[in-house]
Amino acid sequence: MTALGFEATSRYADVGGLRLHYHEAGSEHGTTVVLLHGGGPGASAWSNFRRTIPVFAKTFRVLAVDQPGFGLSDKPTEHDQYFTHSARALRGLVDALGVDRAHLLGNSLGGGAAVRFALDHPDRAGRLVLMGPGGLSVNVFSPDPTEGVRELGRFGAKPGPSREKLEAFLRTMVYDRSLITEELIEERYASASTPESLRAMAAMGASFSRPDSFEQGMLWREAYRLRQRVLLVWGREDRVNPLDGALLALKLIPRAQLHVFGRCGHWAQIEKFDEFNRLAIDFLTDGE
């Protein structure tokens, strides 16, 4: 793991006026996989995928991207619907790096950005691995807003962010709450509580209700257009995008399959680390 630590894999690229930060490993491989993190306070490619990167880098060229507004990437507040915003930045990044086509693996917000990228640039997207993806998840039985979404909204609300609010949010992410350590809370809070991060998160949230572009986030309405093979991964105990949210996507996406992990919340790639890695890598390397 030392050889694939933060500094060894850290990279920057200037893309359409944005400075994007990403991690790269496994550059000797011909097939590229892009990892896209979720959208909670303090999220980044490293926080979501630090253990995933070296595993996938044994087989793929891995690009783990800090999406705009997160991690060490720029944090603009003037942008259109967030999935479109992030997908456009990703298109610029793969262009800059000379990647013609990449598989996409995305958690939550990152899953939505991956789907938007595949819809807008179908020739550039390979297979999709989507863990509780935003925009595709439509709750058939569960109420909205979900517990996780409510806690997300509370974090930046008056009188302002706190470690206690962040811990409450993070606890909705997982089935096994022992994963929410003091170290994790401190690391995420340090990133999430800066003024620029708070402004970026507010702008991201607002973009989902902008009258001129919010429909770009309703990915389920376009899911039938996906021609890639799609692996939907859900935790049975997901309290952010509950399991019933998978049903419409599973019905609409022509080449979809669904895998459900029991005793697992919204972070399948962390809570079911070994099983998830085997499942995803097998899916991405399996012949047509």
Identify the residue whose tokens are 């930045």: 89
- Based on the residue annotation, tell me whether 266 is a catalytic residue of this protein: yes
Spot the catalytic one: 23, 79, 85, 266. Answer: 266
- Per residue, what are the HEC states of the chain? CHHHCHHHHEEEEEECCEEEEEEEECCCCCCEEEEECCCCCCCCHHHHHCCHHHHHCCCCEEEEECCCCCCCCCCCCCCCCHHHHHHHHHHHHHHHCCCCCEEEEEECHHHHHHHHHHHHCCCCEEEEEEECCCCCCCCCCCCCCCHHHHHHHHHHCCCCCCHHHHHHHHHCCCCCHHHCCHHHHHHHHHHHCCHHHHHHHHHHHHHCCCCCCHHHHCHHHCHHHCCCCEEEEEECCCCCCCHHHHHHHHHHCCCEEEEEECCCCCCHHHHCHHHHHHHHHHHHHCCC
Q: How far apart are CA 223 and CA 252, in angstroms?
A: 6
In the numeric block, which tokens belong to residue 182?
């003091």
Query: Which residues have a catalytic role annotated?
Result: 266
